[in-house]
Chains A and B, each alone.
Chain A
């Protein structure tokens, strides 16, 4: 376990760094690439005509990307929570809420992490996720359906799974991913609209003939345009790729914290049986949740293709692994080994 945890933490730190670097570099390429193409077009123009000498676009886009990353780091978790309509639970009023607060405090102690701020989502479907860009301030959101359906121990196991994501540093990477993917989708959307209305297309008229023959420039132009078009798709695939394997590790860590893998297996079973999509949780934050909020929980994901496009491993596999863990522990003498 220990090796796994530290490897996972290191890998998550590295991946978060690369994600940010790739994001900024990508924007820089969009900007400076455009500048270069424009420069090539205008450099042999007549004396009076505009010559693109200074890379305004590249500098502007890099700054925008950097600003976006900073903005997401600062407000990403708030945005994620806002998109699900979560409300913060500060003063528990009912017995169920008090139990939730207690269980969260217990798991924060067991995992040795900061007690997260707790949020409730009014949705009858059981689900939970954790978000935050700083390990020392996690935000945990659960649906009202979850706290109504699970008993104390099962709730504890689910919260343990989420605290596993916090301890692994999965949380930062996944929140960053959600924020960046959202930003790219938004920009691509806006750009698509701009292109459709022909504002950028109109500029082609100022171009003077004769220089279009440069094949390198042409390839560059095509690549550049493709980058703009593919950006949302690439970010979506990245988001899928980072989510699945870490669910198993978070399950294992929950078992480590509660010293009881079977209660999580029970909880997952219950959650799966509901099978309804969690309507309040949008696709953008799907990879943060304990169970796929989009509804295809086991059926679709068990086929090969379904598996490739699911944000979560099939529930049956997770339950099977937890049961195997319990069996191993029993054979070894009752208790799970310490980390």
Chain B
């Protein structure tokens, strides 16, 4: 009889090790996915000064739009300093504002054909499109990974080891800005 007991204990122990390691792997995946967003956000923040200096001369009278982009960038940079899976919301909000401001800004650029014709601006547009896409793909990957992690730690029987593994639900990167939700992608296509 004691053999049966030992076998049962061993099986449970092995299962626990597996479940624990699975949770840790998912937690690291989630952190890594968030890191990916962070990298892309930094790129985006670095790109904006170049973009603005490229168009500044030609857009003197669009000062408000430029100022909105600059202030949105600054607050987004401050917010993204404290990025971790439990505090995603504030950063997401600041970045959504930046996305909105950039969208308006690019719409304005579209209205200046000679500005668009400058190769430098053309290349910056491609860079910006790509960076915006990268941000949204990184967000998509993060949300998918975080959802997997959250589901795993709530599901029975994995939830029994969630406490041991220090598993805390990760916050999803929500798109809070209604305006951004309405405009799925800012298109700057150069034909």
Residue of B nearest to A103 (CB): B130
Minimal beta-carbon separation of B180 from chain A (angstroms): 14
Sampled A-B contacts (20; CB under 8 Å): A95-B122, A95-B123, A95-B126, A98-B123, A99-B126, A102-B126, A102-B127, A102-B133, A105-B130, A105-B134, A109-B36, A109-B134, A109-B141, A110-B140, A112-B33, A112-B36, A152-B129, A156-B133, A257-B137, A257-B140
Closest chain-B Cβ to A238's Cβ sits at a distance in Å of 33
User: Do A98 and B126 have beta carbons less than 8 Å apart?
Assistant: yes
Contact partners of A111 in chain B: CB under 8 A: 141
Q: Identify B137's interface contact among A95, A109, A151, A339, CB under 8 A.
A: A109
B143 within 8 A of A: yes
**Within A234-285, which residues are at the interface with B (CB < 8 Å)?**
257, 259
A134 interface contact, C-beta 8 A? no
**What CA separation (Å) do A109 and B129 show in the bound complex?**
15
* Contact A110-B126, Cβ < 8 Å, known A152-B189, A338-B143: no
* Closest CB in chain A relative to B122 CB, distance in Å: 7
When the two chains form their complex, are residues B141 and A112 in contact, meaning their CB atoms are under 8 A apart?
A: yes
Inter-chain contact A338/B134, CB cutoff 8 Å? no
* Interface band, chain A: 20 to 34
B40 at the interface (CB under 8 A from A): yes
| A338 near B40: Cβ-Cβ < 8 Å | no
The answer to whether the Cβ of A40 comes within 8 Å of any Cβ in the partner chain is no
Q: Is the beta-carbon distance between A110 and B130 smaller than 8 angstroms?
A: no
Residues of A within 8 A of B145 (CB): 112
* Cα distance A105–B33 in the bound complex, in angstroms: 15
A151 to B126, CA, bound (A): 13
Q: What's the least CB distance linking A26 to chain B, in Å?
A: 36
Contacts of B138 in A (CB 8 A): 109
- The reply to whether the CB of A123 lies closer than 8 angstroms to some CB of chain B is no
For A98, what are the chain B residues with a Cβ–Cβ distance below 8 Å?
123, 126
Chain B residue total in the interface (Cβ 8 A): 21
Query: Closest residue of chain A to B185, judged by CB?
Result: A153
Starting from the known contacts A151-B189, A152-B189, A338-B140, 13 additional A-B residue pairs (CB-CB under 8 Å) come to A95-B122, A95-B123, A98-B126, A105-B134, A106-B130, A107-B137, A109-B134, A109-B138, A109-B141, A112-B36, A112-B141, A152-B129, A339-B144
Q: In the complex, which residues 102-127 of chain A have their Cβ closer than 8 Å to any Cβ of chain B?
A: 102-103, 105-107, 109-112
> A112 vs B33: C-alpha distance in the bound complex, in angstroms?
8
Q: A: which residues have CB within 8 A of B? A: 2, 95, 98-99, 102-103, 105-107, 109-112, 151-152, 156, 257, 259, 338-339
CA distance in complex: A339, B141 (Å):
9
Residues of A within 8 A of B148 (CB): 2, 339
CB < 8 Å neighbour of B134 from A95, A106, A257:
A106
Q: Please tell me if B158 contacts chain A, counting CB pairs below 8 Å.
A: no
Is residue B147 within 8 Å, beta carbon to beta carbon, of the partner chain?
Answer: yes
Residues of B within 8 A of A109 (CB): 36, 40, 134, 137-138, 141
A116 CB to nearest chain B CB (Å): 15
In the complex, which residues 79-134 of chain B have their Cβ closer than 8 Å to any Cβ of chain A? 122-123, 126-127, 129-130, 133-134
Complex interface: chain A residues within 8 A of B141 (CB)? 109-112
Q: CB-CB < 8 A to B143: which residues of A? A: 338
Nearest chain-A residue to B36 (Cβ)?
A: A109
Q: Measured between C-beta atoms, what is the minimum distance from B27 to chain A in Å?
A: 15
